[in-house]
Structures are given as structure tokens and as C-alpha cells.
Amino acid sequence: MQANQDLVLAKNYRVPGDINVALLHTIIAVTALRDVLLKEIDALKHNKTGMFMDLQEEKVEVARRYELLIGNLMERGPEIKNADKKLKEQLHRLQNDFGTVAETNRTQIERMSNATKKLGELIMRSARKSAENATQFAYGSSGKMARGNKATIGVNERA
């Protein structure tokens, strides 16, 4: 129930009019998104698929808030010049840290994707090999099934 309420609150979110409060909200959003990505990296490194999947809804919501706030700050460029210097410096440091975490996250997702692809290829090769090595039956000249005689059974595509 709480997750649904949080989602509704997030969808109704409005960027604060005060530039310093907007910067503070952006700092909170960057921190939240970075923290979700760190959890996701941990899940990927330790093959915790359930944990990874559980984080997706949270990641999307936090990313939406982040995108909204960053877009708003970009539109308010001249106004930012008059904002609190410490908040701007803190946001800048967090953005750099977030960039590093986001790159690590992307690398982990790419590794997982490659591992999944390789696993799929291995399964297909094993299945093909197993099918090739399986005992096959063929009818002999007497009309009886002869064990050990390998035969290929297929469909004539011209039929």
C-alpha cells in the first residue's frame, strides 16, 4: 500500500519554485538514483535476479523525478547563477559521482547481457549435440525397426 501511495505522490510531484529548494530536491534525487544503481550493481554482481527485478520500478520512478528536476534546472539557467554556491557545488560533486556509478551500472548490465547470451548459445549447442547423439531408429529392408542404424528424419519442404 505504501509503495502505491509513494508512486501517486511522485506522479503529482511539482518542482519547487525557489531555486535553492529545487537544487536541494535535485541533490536528493541524484542521491536516490545513485543509491538505486548501487543496489542494482550489487544484485548484478551477485546474480540476485529477484532483487534486480524488484529495483526496476523504484529505479524508473527515481529516474523520472531526476529527469524532471534536471530539465527544470536547465531551463532556469540564469536563475541558477543566484543560487546558493554550496548547493551548486554539492550537486556538481554528486553529478560526477553519479556519472561514475552510472557507468559501472551500464558495464554490469552489459556483462550480464553477454553472460545470458553465452548461456543461451551454450544451451542451444548442447541441445543440438544431444539430439545428434541420441539413439535414432530407422526401418530396415524387412520393414522392422533397426536399432543402431542412424537415419535422418525430416520434412520435405517441397511437399
For 48-69, the pLDDT digits (tens) are 888 989 999 999 999 999 999 9
Would residue 150 count as lying in a domain?
no
Would residue 118 count as lying in a domain?
yes
Number of domains in the chain: 1
Would residue 155 count as lying in a domain?
no
What is the per-residue pLDDT for 117?
A: 83
What is the per-residue pLDDT for 96?
A: 93
Which of 48, 50, 68 lies closest to 60, judged by CA?
A: 68
Domain range holding 85?
2-134
Would residue 139 count as lying in a domain?
no
Which tens digits make up the pLDDT trace of 22-48? 999 999 999 999 999 999 999 988 888
Q: Is it the case that residue 97 has pLDDT exceeding 90? A: yes
Q: Is it the case that residue 131 has pLDDT exceeding 90? A: no
Mean pLDDT (the chain, rounded): 80
pTM to 2 decimals? 0.66
Pick the more confident residue, 16 or 143: 16
